[in-house]
Amino acid sequence: MSHITLVRHGQANTQARDEASYDRLSDLGHRQAAWLGDHLRASANHHPRVYSGTLQRHVETARGMAVGDAVQDERLNELEYFTLAKLMEEQHGLPMPVEREGFVSHLPQVFSAWHDGKLEGAPETFAQFETRITDVLSEISQGPGAGLVVTSGGLIAIVMRQMMGLDMQATARIALAIMNTSMHRMYMIGDRMSPVLFNAVPHLETPDRHFAQTHF
């Protein structure tokens, strides 16, 4: 294969406070997806294989990009952040932020507690999340030609952690930085996948689209 490009989904419902409410694109999210698809076609950036998670925001983003029918795989789904945040509040007294800026300090604490096994009743363990990511990307990497994968920011951050050997604090900072419909490319260098592109949004770089460079 030549490479795998991970794409974070378009902006979702920023007012949500639970998994179900979050899982749909905003109007801007649909526009971001369409712009990215236009950019890929204009630059002749062809991916013969397209994949996505099964979450609605993944499917809507892949469909809006219009770069081919995506093979859906639930192993590409995001961690259940709102569920973990609720457990964090119930078990450790850390409230869910009411403003987006509050996630800058909230997310690292949730990630660390989850990683350390301090959230009882989590939908999956941190190790299980990492394992399913490794498994699905390993399978995709065996296919012929470049692969395009529409997924979520948390999953992309864990992929970067695995490739770069990041600790949890660095992983959390990576997750917070990832923009909607950003591209992240990996090549096989030696016997390991290595990042060669991170958080690229060429389809949002013109001045009239700077407003669309969103993180939440």
pLDDT tens across 26-59, in order?
A: 999 999 999 999 999 999 877 889 999 999 999 9
Is residue 82 predicted with pLDDT exceeding 80?
A: yes
Find the largest Cα–Cα distance for the chain: 50
What is the pTM (predicted TM-score) of this model?
Answer: 0.94
Query: Do the beta carbons of residue 4 and residue 184 sit within 8 Å?
Result: no
In 3D, which of 204, 186, 183, 177 has the Cα closest to residue 133? Answer: 186
pLDDT of 102 above 90: no
Flag whether 3 is in a domain: no
Q: Mean pLDDT throughout 11-32?
A: 88
Query: Considering the domain boundaries, does residue 116 fall inside one?
Result: yes
Check pLDDT > 90 for residue 213: yes
Query: Per the domain annotation, does 193 fall within a domain?
Result: no
H or E stretch at 140: helix 126-141
Predicted confidence band of residue 80 (pLDDT cuts 50, 70, 90): very high
Q: What was the pLDDT predicted at 134?
A: 95
* Number of structural domains found in the chain: 1
Q: Would you say residue 28 lies in a domain?
A: yes
| Beta pairing class for 192-200 and 183-189 | antiparallel
Lowest mean pLDDT among 6-20, 82-96, 152-166: 6-20
- Could you report the per-residue pLDDT of 130-175, keeping only the tens digit for each? 999 999 999 999 888 899 999 999 999 999 999 999 999 999 999 9
Within a domain: 119: yes
Residue 136: CATH number of its domain: 3.40.50.1240
Rg over alpha carbons for the chain, rounded to the nearest Å, is: 17
In a domain, residue 85? The reply is yes
Q: Mean pLDDT score of the chain, rounded to an integer?
A: 93
* Tokens coding 89: 């509040």
Q: What's the whole-number mean pLDDT along residues 102-124?
A: 94
The number of CA neighbours under 13 Å toward the Cβ of 116 is 11
What range defines the domain where residue 121 resides? 16-186+198-208
Question: Between the CA of residue 131 and those of 75, 84, 101, 124, 135, what are the distances in Å?
Answer: 9, 18, 30, 11, 6
- The pLDDT value given to residue 143: 87
* 214 in any annotated domain: no
How much of the chain exceeds pLDDT 90, in percent?
80
Answer whether residue 86 shows pLDDT above 80: yes
Q: What confidence score (pLDDT) does residue 127 get?
A: 97
Residue 1 pLDDT grade (very low, low, confident, very high; cuts 50, 70, 90): low
Q: Is residue 149 part of a domain?
A: yes
